[in-house]
Amino acid sequence: MTCDRCTDKLCASKVPIFSNLSREELVEIIAMTGHRSYHKGESVFLEGTNAATLYLINVGKIKLYKYTKEGKEQILHILADGDFFGELNLLKEGTYGFYAEAMAETRVCTLTKDKLRNLILKRPEIGLKILEVVSERLLKLENLAQNLATNDVETRIAQLILDLSKENGRNIDRGIEIKLSLTREDMSNYIGVARETISRKLKKFQDEGIIEVIGNKKIILLDEERLKGHLSL
């Protein structure tokens, strides 16, 4: 069964919370879903919007963010293929507590609140998997809050590079190649520093032989241990 706007024959199979389901069950879930497309920079929903939908990313990239008291964007999460969002308020009445925006051309499948509830009642393990992901995200937010509150700029940037190396890195002869999905502006909004500071600190790490910056889309982590040393400075 093929979704009109999905490139995979069984798009739900890309989502980890559905990974243990049979083909028949996946087909059943796909029959429940709607399909939406978003252009880069297009809003998915605003903070305060009624929370009625679970979004499953088939292809693309979504950022979840809030605004600080000073009006500066603070990125909370950046999600990609196979991730989902909008789950926190689906089991009770409520509104989304953040903004969601496409960072690239993005296609999503959607499940309404009622359909998700029925699915969890039928397959409780899906609810448990959702809770696991939510717990991981809450821990990540706690770490982000601690990083912003207690660490200096250099430590924040070092931690960001290490996090990106785990999420998007691949081992090569010279070290770890990191393909950047974030612009310098995104990086600054994620760790709460000016874009110019990001560029200056990346150059400093490069001059020290810790990383090599290749344009705006790639970093090679040459010396992971030395970069980790900046976390304790």
- Decide if 197 is inside a domain: yes
What are 197's two structure tokens?
């500071």
Q: pTM for the full model?
A: 0.73
Q: 116-125, pLDDT tens digit by residue?
A: 788 778 778 7
Give φ, ψ of 172 to 5 degrees. Answer: -130, 175
17 and 67 together in one domain: yes
150 with 34: CB under 8 angstroms? Answer: no
pLDDT at 2 > cutoff 50:
no
Co-location of 105 and 17 in the same domain? yes
pLDDT tens-digit series, residues 33-70: 888 999 999 999 999 998 888 898 988 999 999 998 88
Q: Does 133 share its domain with 157?
A: no
Residue 17 is classified by DSSP as G
How large is the angle between the packed helices 195-207 and 153-168, nearest 10 degrees? 80
Q: Is the pLDDT of residue 135 over 50?
A: yes
Retrieve residue 96's tokens: 């989304």
Percent of the chain with pLDDT strictly greater than 90: 32
Range of the domain at 69: 11-149
Residue 126, domain member (yes or no): yes
- Read off the pLDDT band of 177 (50, 70, 90): very high
Residues 6+ apart with CB under 8 A from 155: 147, 230, 231, 233
In a domain, 193, yes or no: yes
Give pLDDT tens digits for 63-108: 999 998 888 898 988 898 888 888 766 666 788 889 999 999 999 9
Residues 124 and 68 in one domain: yes
Residue 163 tokens, joined? 């996090």
Does the pLDDT of residue 1 top 80, yes or no?
no
Same domain, 123 and 162: no
Amino acid type, 150:
T
